[in-house]
């Protein structure tokens, strides 16, 4: 009998110690979802996670100045800067096919329509909510601009418009420039010149 | 010598065998099902964010495409949370006085990051990749729900293993044409726009896109 008592007396603090150990994992929260998640997190970092090791606390590190990542060597000035001999290029760095224009249309609709609108008239949704109105692509000055100029505006921004270089890859920027050219040409054409699928959308606007 | 156990203990011993099974079984199933509960996985719980960013306003109201902000969702495992610079492409010009946007402006000036609260977070021992799902025609809405109606972000699925497998075992119930992946209100239709059954369309797309999701453990646990 007294043996049994001894074991229970020893078991209690042991049990308490075990529960305490488990609770140490709680890191000061009682939210059950957080508790569950904390047991699932390993000591490695996912993209954009917090890392207190660095002064700015970002686990995803910015590129070190002057280094070139694999596959990021950019020697083709025409393709990557849009400049030829210090002037905006008058040609595209690769042949423009129907596929490129289609890609350009898709990318244009994602990144440019909020402000420039589907027709490129500068009356997108955000402009209607108070954004500075960009010029229409169909004014004479922009009709006469080179493809390299449009590439440059996307790469470096222009006035109130920010740069899109971090979000749109160089080839896609050229594809957008090609699509803008197609938009401009279509403005001087009649509706019958437009492919059926595009025409339908234009008519619905 | 007197018997150590009275006669009644036989019955007690038999009952206790069953009782142990019942108790252990109930315990295990409570544990398993707790893991499935919306309560423990925070499904349908809107998370408070440092800036009350509304997908409803920006996607439905302003009509911005997911990829304007989640730039890498098509070509990487990670969808990307936009940097404040992306917000500033518009908010340097509009709603510039809004107190709600002060953390964004401050972050842009000072370069300190915004700490968004994660809503979807798989355990670190699970490998997930957005690009394959987007390319094989799984819509954002299938996994994330009607994001375009969310004033604050919440989860609509538990992200449990059984949820992943439900689709990996029967993808025809979920696939859609690639062009419709970013469409939040897509319904299965044929080329003429007539409603068709998801399973019929799904079976056709599975052939066309050569879809064959794996259920091997090493697909998701690498």
Q: Is the pLDDT of residue A190 over 60?
A: no
What number of residues does chain B have?
222
CA distance B80 to B131: 12
What is the homologous superfamily of the domain A77-204 according to CATH? Cytochrome c-like domain (1.10.760.10)
Number of Cβ within a 10 Å radius of residue A148: 23
pLDDT band at A188 (very low <50, low <70, confident <90, very high): low
Nearest Cα to Cα of residue A179 among A78, A106, A111: A106
Confidence of residue B178 (pLDDT cuts 50, 70, 90): very high
| Inter-residue contact A98 to A179 (CB < 8 Å) | no
**CB-based contact B133:B139 (threshold 8 Å):** no
Least confident of A160-169, B33-42, B153-162: B33-42
pTM of the entire predicted model: 0.89
pLDDT at B69 over 90: yes
Contacts of B183 (CB under 8 A, 6+ apart): B139, B141
Q: What is residue A120's predicted lDDT score, i.e. its pLDDT?
A: 92
Answer yes or no: is pLDDT of B171 > 60. Answer: yes
Q: Under a CB-based contact definition with an 8 Å cutoff, are residues B79 and A48 in contact? A: no
B95: which chain A residues are within 8 Å (Cβ-Cβ)? Answer: 130
Q: Which two tokens stand for residue B11?
A: 């019955």
Tokens at residue A12, please?
Answer: 């209690």
User: Number of helices (H) and strands (E), helices first, in chain A?
Assistant: 10, 2
| Residue B112 banded pLDDT, cuts 50, 70, 90 | confident
Q: Please tell me if residue B90 touches chain A, with a CB cutoff of 8 Å.
A: yes
Backbone angles phi, psi at A158, to 5 degrees: -155, 115
For residue A169, give the chain B residue with the closest CA: B71
User: What token pair was written down for A14?
Assistant: 């042991």
**Partners of residue A126 in chain B, C-beta under 8 Å:** 62, 90, 94
Is A84 a residue whose pLDDT tops 80? yes
Task: Sketch the domain layout of chain A as residue ranges.
Answer: 7-36, 77-204
CB contact under 8 A, B40 and A37: no
Domain ranges of chain B: 40-81+116-220
Find the residue in A nearest to B110 (Cα).
A56
Which chain B residues have a beta carbon less than 8 Å from that of A133? none
Give B101's contacts (C-beta < 8 A, 6+ positions apart): B51, B87, B91, B95
Pairwise CA distance, residues B217 & B222, whole Å: 8
* Pairwise CB contact (< 8 Å): A126 & B94: yes
CA distance to partner chain A, nearest, from residue B46 (Å): 13
Rounded Cα–Cα distance for residues A92 and B187 (Å): 40
What is the model's pLDDT at position B39? 79
């Amino acid at each position: 009998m007294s043996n049994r008592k001894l074991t229970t007396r020893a078991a209690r603090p042991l049990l308490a110690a075990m529960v305490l150990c488990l609770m140490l994992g709680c890191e000061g929260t009682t939210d059950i979802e957080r508790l569950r998640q904390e047991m699932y997190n390993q000591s490695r970092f996912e993209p954009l996670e917090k890392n207190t090791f660095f002064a700015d606390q970002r686990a995803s590190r910015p590129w070190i100045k002057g280094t070139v990542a694999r596959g990021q060597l950019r020697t083709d000035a025409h393709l990557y800067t849009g400049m030829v001999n210090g002037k905006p290029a008058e040609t595209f760095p690769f042949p423009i096919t129907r596929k490129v224009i289609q890609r350009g249309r898709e990318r244009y609709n994602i990144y440019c329509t909020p402000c420039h609108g589907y027709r490129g008239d500068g009356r997108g949704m955000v402009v209607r909510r108070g954004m500075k109105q960009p010029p229409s692509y169909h004014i004479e000055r922009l009709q006469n601009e080179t493809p390299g100029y449009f590439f440059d505006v996307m790469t470096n921004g222009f006035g109130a418009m920010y740069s899109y270089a971090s979000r749109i890859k160089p080839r896609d920027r050229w594809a957008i420039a090609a699509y803008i050219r197609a938009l401009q040409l279509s403005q001087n054409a009649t509706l019958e010149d437009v492919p059926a699928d595009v025409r339908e959308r234009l008519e619905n606007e | 010598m007197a018997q150590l156990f009275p006669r009644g203990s036989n019955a007690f011993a038999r009952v206790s065998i069953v009782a142990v099974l019942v108790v252990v079984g109930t315990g295990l199933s409570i544990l398993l099902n707790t893991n499935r509960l919306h309560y423990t996985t925070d499904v349908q719980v809107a998370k408070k964010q440092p800036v009350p960013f509304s997908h409803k306003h920006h996607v439905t109201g302003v009509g911005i495409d997911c990829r304007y902000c989640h730039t890498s969702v098509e070509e990487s495992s990670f969808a990307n949370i936009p940097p404040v610079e992306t917000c500033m492409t518009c908010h340097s010009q509009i709603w510039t006085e809004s107190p709600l946007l002060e953390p964004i402006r401050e972050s842009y000036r000072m370069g300190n990051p915004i700490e968004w609260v994660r809503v979807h977070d798989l355990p670190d021992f699970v490998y997930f990749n957005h690009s394959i799902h987007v390319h094989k025609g799984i819509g954002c809405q299938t996994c994330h729900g009607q994001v375009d109606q969310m004033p604050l972000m919440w989860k609509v699925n538990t992200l449990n293993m059984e949820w992943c497998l439900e689709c990996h075992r029967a993808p025809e119930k979920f696939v859609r044409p690639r062009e419709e992946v970013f469409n939040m209100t897509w319904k299965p239709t044929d080329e003429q726009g007539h409603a068709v059954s998801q399973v019929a369309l799904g079976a056709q797309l599975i052939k066309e896109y050569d879809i064959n999701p794996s259920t091997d453990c090493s697909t998701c646990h690498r």
